[in-house]
Amino acid sequence: MDADVSQSTVGGSVQAPPSKSYTHRAILAAGYADGATVTDPLVSADTKATMRAVAAYGGAVERHEDSLDVEGFDGRPDIPEDVIDCANSGTTMRLVTATAGLGDGLTVLTGDNSLRSRPQGPLLDALSQLDGRAESTRANGQAPLVVGGPIDGGSVSIPGDVSSQYITALLMAGAITDDGIEIDLETELKSAPYVDITIEVLEAFGVDAHTTESGFSVAGGQSYDPEGGEYTVPGDFSSISYLLAMGALAAPDGLTVTGAYPSAQGDSAIVDVLQEMGADLTWDRDAGEIHVSRSGLTGIEVSVADTPDLLPTITVLGAVADGTTTITDAEHVRYKETDRVSAMAEELTAMGASVEEEHDTLTIHGGESTLSGATVDGRADHRIVMSLSVAGLVAEGATTVEGIEHVDVSFPDFFDVLVGLGASVSRE
C-alpha cells in the first residue's frame, strides 16, 4: 500500500501514542506474573507478537478497548505446542528467547525474512553460559532458534554494543531463576536508556534489578506482582519524534503533543535535539504537553549511540536545516528492520538531499539540499515510512511513500493522525 504526501502544513493537538518499548515489557512481565492488567497499551503488529508468545508459554491475553488482561504463566513457561512466530518483532524474539531458557524442554522461535537476518548470537551464547541449550538452526547466530533449559542462573559475559535487548531479556528472565543472573559487559553498552526502561518496568512489577561496576545484576527467586495488579503504559517518544518533526517543519501556527510525560525513554532526547537545532519548542513536563512551531533550523552534530530509533527523524530534520547535520555512533542502527543508515541516505538522496554515508556516520548537508517529491521505498520498515512521510510535507510536489502498511508495527494510526492534523495525504 502506498501514500502520496503533498507539500502541506499541519496544526492542532494530538495525543502521543503509547510506548511500544514499555508495552512489550509490560506484557511479558504480566506473563511472568500470575497475571496483570496492562492499561493504555500499544496494540500493534509487534506487540501482538509478544502477546502470542505469552499465550504460547501458557498464558492468555484478553484485549479490551483501553487495556489488556494478561493471564500469566507464573514464572516458569510451558513448552509451546508449536513454533513461536515473532513475525517482524526483534524485541519479541530477544525477550522471549530468554523466557524459553526457563522451560524444561525445547522451544523453537522464528520470524519473517527480515527478523531471520538479525543477530541473535550473543544472546544464544549467554544462555549457553548459563547451561541452557541455545542454537541457531543454520549455525549463523540468526533465527530460527532452538532454546531450552531450565537454566538456574549464574554469570554471563556479553557484548553491549550489538543490542541492549539481550540485557533486557536476561534481566527479565533472571528474576525467575533460582540464583539470579550477573551480567558482565564486554564492550560499552549502546542504547543504554532501553535497559533503564526495563529496570523501571521491573520495579513497577516488584522486581529488583540494578547496575553494577561491570554491568547489571538481578537476584533470583523474585515474583512479578505490580501494585494493584495493574500497569499503565506511558506515551512513546520514538513516535512522538515524528510529530515534533512535523511541527518544527510544517506547523506555522503550532502543534501540541499531549501525553508526553517524562520517563526513562532515551528518545525523549528528540526534545533536546530540536531545541539545539533552534526549534521553537516548549515542554510542560508536569502537564505532559509539548508545543512546537515551524522554525528555522540549523544543523548540529548528534550521537545516536543511545537513541538509534531517532536516526531517521534527525536525518529528515538535517535535510531541511541550514548548514550540516552529522549523525555519529550509528553502526548499530544498521541492524534494525533494515539498514536504516543506508535506507535514509539513499531515499533522501532520491528526494534531492545531499547526504554522505560512512559506516558509523551520516552527514546531511541541508544547505545544499532542496527536497522534491519522488517515489521512495519504505523498506518494509515503519520508521523509514514515517520519517519519509514527514519529509514529504516539506518537499516540492508530491512524494509517494511505498509500503505504508508497515506503520502497524509501532504507530498504526499514523496516517490517520497525519490527515487529522491537516496534511494532504492520499492512500492507495
User: Which residues are known to be catalytic?
Assistant: 309
Pairwise CA distance, residues 20 & 258, whole Å: 17
Binding positions for phosphoenolpyruvate: 20, 90, 118, 165, 340, 383
| Alpha helices in 181-321, H assignment, sequence order | 192-204, 237-250, 269-277, 311-320
Strand partners, 217: 182, 210
Q: Supply 271's cell numbers.
A: 526534545
- Buried b / exposed e across 122-142, counting CB within 10 Å, b at 16+? bbbbbbbbbebbbbbeeeebb
Cβ-contact 407, 386 below 8 angstroms:
yes
Orientation of helix 90-100 relative to helix 165-174, angle to 10°: 30
Pairwise CA distance, residues 293 & 251, whole Å: 5
Instruction: Name, in order, each residue with C-beta under 8 angstroms of 358's C-beta and a sequence gap of 6 or more.
Output: none
Q: How far is residue 50 from each of residues 25, 101, 255, measured CA to CA in Å?
A: 9, 16, 33
- Buried b / exposed e across 201-213, counting CB within 10 Å, b at 16+? bbebbebebeeee
Pairwise CA distance, residues 200 & 319, whole Å: 35
Q: Supply 100's cell numbers.
A: 524459553
Binding positions: 20-21, 25, 90, 118, 163-165, 191, 309, 336, 340, 383
Pairwise CA distance, residues 366 & 327, whole Å: 13
Cβ-contact 394, 249 below 8 angstroms:
yes
Q: What are phi and psi of 265, to 5 degrees?
A: -65, 120
Q: What are phi and psi of 396, to 5 degrees?
A: -65, 130
Binding positions for 3-phosphoshikimate: 20-21, 25, 163-165, 191, 309, 336
Pairing of β 215-218 and β 181-185: antiparallel
